[in-house]
Structure 1
């Protein structure tokens, strides 16, 4: 039995804190407030826009410097949203953080991981994450999984004196260890710090945007230089006018709001999920869930409540002291799982009984046991676990157990060893055989979560396949899944019959829906098999047996009440243990990805037509058609304001790979059409007005605005009332500018006569119809790629 040690005293803890011997690894999150401000202010785009803003301020007038407001708005919005997201994450992280149990002054107390000090005595139980390095000082059948560090899947039995590494976790047994390395000196401290950082690393969306921005930069540099020279030569007699028109040509080339809206969309996603008590531990997880094609669920704690009740005990041996043995097995385990907790609640500890030895429950073994003495001094070995694991195939008791399982009940077998006394040792490898004497079937009832059927229905409607992967009996798991209407649940598979060959395993997992008796390593293999078939896999879980699969899945989702180890490796933690929150998480990811793609079409179309327009102006040796003020109003009404609303709108379309290609397939021809219509309108107006630059610019502005508004109308589909209102409001805003004398003068817009304006509108309509054809040509390809994976 364990020799209980007292641990450090309060004075010893204070002494170690004073000398800095504390586990001071940062718990969260990303950037400090100063770093957030710096990252949002000192950007490449802000630098470009800032230089152009300074140039315009030097030559005036002020209305041509309105685009400078974009710098301020981008910075303020980015800073505010990221700070809000940081506060949300940090607040939730405190709630969701693991709290190790340490012994101080002889008392067991919970502390934050950051408050551990050198030489602390830390208690361990199943599912506990080992937060610092140390040496085992107490061990009772302690088993530790170090696979997250070493890659070795088999649990390691730890005896007194054995080392423990931070980052590993307890799979079975209990004990305590003394901390020998804390803070950044611990083995996995740096790894854990990096893994928990709030970051955009490895984001396909972010990578796509960076690719686009690099492409745009290479376009802007030569085009901008050519435009500067061209406008100086064309307007050599009016240098300020040349400067203004040169700046007007450069400003729209920069997709100034695209990066901002991406950051805002992610940050708002974090805030929205935070309100649902979802802790996003890695920002790309929001994006990853949008791409999920398969969700793997555990039964217990996900489809059913974790709490169970003993509904029946079917006594097979009328002479066996079943109630007393069950009461003792409950007290023999210091960290009982949900099944054993139900037995503890139902059966009190009997008087006169004792525990000589015990084997804790393990997900790999699927049984626990103890060597017990009764009041008469008789010693016997008892096991409690899965009937189909403890008994050989074909045993008559299994048929009765399967009958309960088919009704969705969990069944445990209580069995007595028929061999020599005191033989129940961890090293004894026999798990089934004739020496086991069945004594009773313990039937446990579980309550199906009322939201489970609705959640499964959501995934089916969204084309996301659901796989139920459980350690329970396959018949029991299948019965629960059938009651929820899950397709394929009528054919549950015992995972012990699955092929070991990876290709054959992938085919079997892809073909079936419900799996029982799945071991921890097998869960991991099944996730890998689905990924090998091209699926993006999300895995949910709460127990220590789920850790390996959670770590390897594309997205790991842990329950807040789950083991510290499962929460530590998951990208998303559902702090309220509410499985029904998962559709909201998926929907949030789809909103972010789908909407960023929408607005990227607008921003990149603007960049393309700006670059092409500059090239044509350079070749034609004419004044640039616009002043900065004209492009400010066009960009605001056809890109900036609509994009802001569209970026935050609901969007349920599943994200697909190929983001950059899809955006460019619309933006490049769309920008070409917009440029062609605008330059044609401008050149025609020059032939009509014969040098009235204000009238010529007004006609070109009208054409470009109408084409841009048409693009917004296309991107905003499918229409809802507010999307229609948004498009109408943008059109109304431009009409107000054209009709109000003060605004006409301020923006230097004046439509003269009817000929040039009429041609401007006709060209815009023709360009809009071409945009419709471009969009229609892309739709079949989009439809094909959006089809769900065949399952």
Structure 2
């Protein structure tokens, strides 16, 4: 039985405003709780509840229990780090969310008899949704109208072949329209939609690989195990050496060693670098949909791009229709106008419609354009069936009425027109009414239709930039290879011999060989674009794919970095990591430069933190072997970390850096930072031993003179501070040299940064309040002795740097 509601839902006018409001009120909308960014609560938890914060927090509590408030300064650093991370991510979130909202996907719905464009999240249950080529299906429901509708269901089934759908078929969310048009009722929306009910990975959207994040995570795992091993060693050794001074000294000295093992700012600065890069790119009309994509593009060594919309402006203009064999020019113009009178017209017919008026022919059947077929057709009452598409495809059908010499003449003329850079399509007629997308056997060529494209004025400079950066270009287009080659030459590419993709082998190894030696490919199908990406990746390349049409979506999804044009199809933008909001290909060098800045700067920062970790580990082990107190109090390391690592790392992470990407991020860090940190640790122990032998309080008197309780607080002679002060001076000297090495090549702002940090360190010694706060006292002789030890350590760091060619090469490019 047909209900009143069913009858209502089949009407063409769609829902009324009141019906929409009623569904919104009961929550029957196409909205999920999923977000593109973390909530404020998640941001706070992510920046506060970390394993290293837990370690530092526990140590802070223990140090506070001892009553040594100054040694708990690292707790303040902990709070500041978390606050900076929360603030930066929240501000970046607001900015990125606003940009994402402005560029959110939209859907055409019929309401009150009118077609309206609404945000996809505002589609309600029972909405009458209109679909056109390039749209994503936003919800599930039955198809009530189909004009050759074909869907790509790869996101759900894994099969890339388009699937045709007729009236009455149930279509699913998560699919996209590759051909034709249609209307359907959105019966299941939001959480009830099929794509949202299946497993979370059903859409198979791969996450962008980030070498930085993988390397940092690996470092954090290593450091976690190091802390687990070093902590009991530190406690045991300090109990043996300073246990007679009270448990407070054991806690403070042990905490100092472990605090040095915690890279408290590394994750923060890495995240901030990514976030601020994404925000910076939005100012250049680039929407970053996955943060690691900023880094990913810097690793790219092959860019695959489409001609239309990338090298050219994307808008084509109709030029002329050159009749064949005396065909009636007026009929040709009428046929073109009738074909272009299609609400779902592709770019070619849209350009025709801008010039030629519709003759008013009654259309009885439409075969929509499909990137794989490369032709479209329409049947008309009292008129022939007209077909328009790629000349090579239509002529390959072996038109019976035309003699072979005539076909060859047409091919020659197509080649001549294509060589001038024009786009050429063939208009043909048939006496057969088409019922399926199969070319009829009685095709008669009628005219060659020429269209022109405007080459982007910035395309030449953009491609020249990629050439300078040793990034290979592959032009992959569905157009005639001769036309594509002509445009490629116009923008300065050395194209060689273009290849017609229809002649390419199916064998993956053979395809890799062709790709290695060829720049321009024409007549490429969507599935071939995807195969190109896979073949290049199999050869070890990091591949970026740009595109704007739905025929590019499969390749964009499988590429290491997918770049969609802002005016492209929704299905294409949905799978891309980057969206060029204004459609300008010239923004890609900005993204490449931003990615390189992030990689280079994070590597510098990571070296500083890992060197500190290595220093602390070596100092803990050496102190244990030599039965020495740990050379520092926590406050000493807080000072050293602030002026040689924390503050400079923040500026270095955000400063300019044009260094080219080099693989081996983690390996370079370990090859430089670990031996440099070990040198620093050994220098510190040597300095502490030298200072203890001639300065400070004799060891046998230390318990009596340096751990005296008065009024609930410890009062110590100034001399008690001197061995630790000497070790601190040595550590500052070595780490300032490490900082100077990592800041190379020196520019004015870097020199100013290092100089300012040196001044801060000196002030900590000469300002009475600071010297007392940090327990620092260094008589002249101790100062020069400790500096000399530090300079020896600095010289050894320079040797480590000189013996690491990959590290030196990584710092060779000027910022």
TM range (shorter): over 0.9
Partner of 2:386: 382
Q: In 2 relative to 1, CA 764–396 (structure 1 residues): closer, same or farther, beyond 3 Å?
A: same
CA deviation digits over 1:38-95, x for unaligned, max 9? 2211211212212222233333443322212211111111111111222222212222
Match of 2:667 in 1: 661
8 Å CA contact 1:29–1:197 kept in 2: the answer is no
Q: 2-side partners of 1:699 and 1:307: how far apart?
A: 71
Task: Name the counterpart of 1:324.
Answer: 334
2:195–2:202 CA contact under 8 A, matched in 1: no
Once residues 387 and 233 of structure 1 are traced to their aligned partners in structure 2, the CA distance between those partners, rounded to angstroms, is 88
**Superposed displacement of residue 381, structure 1:** 1.5
Asked whether the 8 Å contact 1:656–1:785 carries over to 2, the reply is no
Q: Does 1:779 align with 2:805?
A: yes
Query: 1:780/1:590 Cα in 2 relative to 1: closer, same or farther (>3 Å)?
Result: closer
- 8 Å Cα contact 1:66/1:629 also seen in 2: yes
In the alignment, is the contact (CA less than 8 A) between 2:458 and 2:586 conserved in 1? yes
Matches within 5 A, 1:549-564: 549-564=555-570
Counterpart pick for 1:727 among 754, 758, 764 = 754
User: Does 2:597 correspond to 1:591?
Assistant: yes
Give the match for residue 763 of structure 1: 789
Q: Show the counterpart of 2:708.
A: none
Shift of 1:565: 0.6
Whether the 8 Å contact between 2:37 and 2:97 is mirrored in structure 1 is: no
5 Å-filtered alignment, 1:76-115, equals 76-115=83-122
CA displacement 1:515-574 (0-9 Å, x = unmatched):
111011110111111011111111111101101111111111111111111011111111
Greater Cα shift, 47-56 or 778-787? 778-787
Which of 275, 290, 296 is the equivalent residue of 1:282?
290
Structure 1 residue aligned with 2:344: 335
Note if contact 2:155-2:203 (Cα within 8 Å) is conserved in structure 1: no
2:312 maps to what in 1?
304
Conserved? CA contact 1:30–1:199, under 8 Å? no
Over aligned residues, Cα RMSD in angstroms? 2.4
Q: Deviations over 1:449-473 (max 9, x none)?
A: 1111111122112221111111111
Residue aligned with 1:347, SS: coil
Give the whole-Å Cα distance in 1 for the aligned partners of 2:207 and 2:260: 27
Report the secondary structure of 1:67's partner residue: helix
SS in structure 1 of the partner of residue 194 of structure 2: coil
CA contact (8 A) 2:745 2:812 kept: no
Q: Distance in 2 between matches of 1:235 and 1:410?
A: 84
Of the candidates 513, 517, 530, which is equivalent to residue 519 of structure 2? Answer: 513
Quickly say closer, same or farther: Cα 1:36–1:506, change in 2 above 3 A: same
Secondary structure at the residue paired with 1:66?
Answer: helix
Aligned residue among 555, 569, 572 for 1:566: 572
Taking structure 1 as reference, are residues 255 and 781 closer, same or farther at Cα in structure 2, changes over 3 Å only? Answer: closer
Tell me what 2:550 maps to: 544
Residue 257 to residue 197, structure 1, CA distance change in 2 (3 Å): farther
Q: 2:726 aligns with which of 690, 696, 699?
A: 699
- SS state of the match for residue 780, structure 2? coil
**CA–CA distance in 2 between the matches of 1:206 and 1:384?**
50
Deviation at 1:605, TM superposition (A): 0.7
**SS of the residue 1:175 aligns to:** strand
Alpha-carbon distance, 1:303 to partner: 0.8
Does the 8 Å contact 2:496/2:519 carry over to 1? no
Give distance in 1, aligned partners of 2:367 and 2:647. 65
Task: Tell me if 1:141 matches 2:168.
Answer: no
Alignment of 1:164-243 (within 5 A): 164-189=171-196, 203-239=210-246, 240-243=248-251
Q: CA deviation at 1:447?
A: 0.9
Equivalent residue of 2:126, what SS?
coil
Alignment partner of 1:496 out of 492, 496, 502 = 502
> Where in structure 2 are there 5+ consecutive unaligned residues?
1-9, 399-406, 698-718
1:582: how far off?
1.3
Distance 1:424 1:785 in 2: 65
Give the Cα–Cα distance (whole angstroms) in 1 for the partners of residues 663 and 640 of structure 2. Answer: 31
- 1:414 equivalent in alignment to 2:427: yes
Q: In the aligned structure 2, how far is the partner of 1:577 from the partner of 1:163? A: 34
Q: Which moved further from structure 2: 595-604 or 205-214? A: 205-214
Kindly indicate whether residue 287 of structure 2 is the aligned counterpart of residue 261 of structure 1: no
* Counterpart for residue 425 of structure 1: 435
1:753–1:649: structure 2 CA closer, same or farther, 3 Å change rule?
closer
- Structure 1 pair 168–355 and aligned structure 2 pair: CA distance change class (3 A): same
| Matched-pair contact (CA < 8 Å) for 2:144–2:167 | yes
Secondary structure of the residue aligned to 1:668 is helix
1:450-469 pair list within 5 angstroms: 450-469=457-476
Using structure 1 for the length normalisation, give the TM-score.
Answer: 0.93
Offset, 1:727: 1.8
Report deviation, 1:781. Answer: 7.8
The answer (yes or no) to whether the contact 1:26–1:193 under 8 Å persists in 2 is no
1:159 to 166, 182, 188: 166
Secondary structure in 1 aligned to 2:186?
Answer: strand
SS at 2:370 equivalent = coil
Q: Equivalents in 2 of 1:472, 1:365: separation in Å? A: 12
Give 1:528-539 correspondences, 5 Å limit: 528-539=534-545
Where does residue 644 of structure 1 map in the other structure? 650
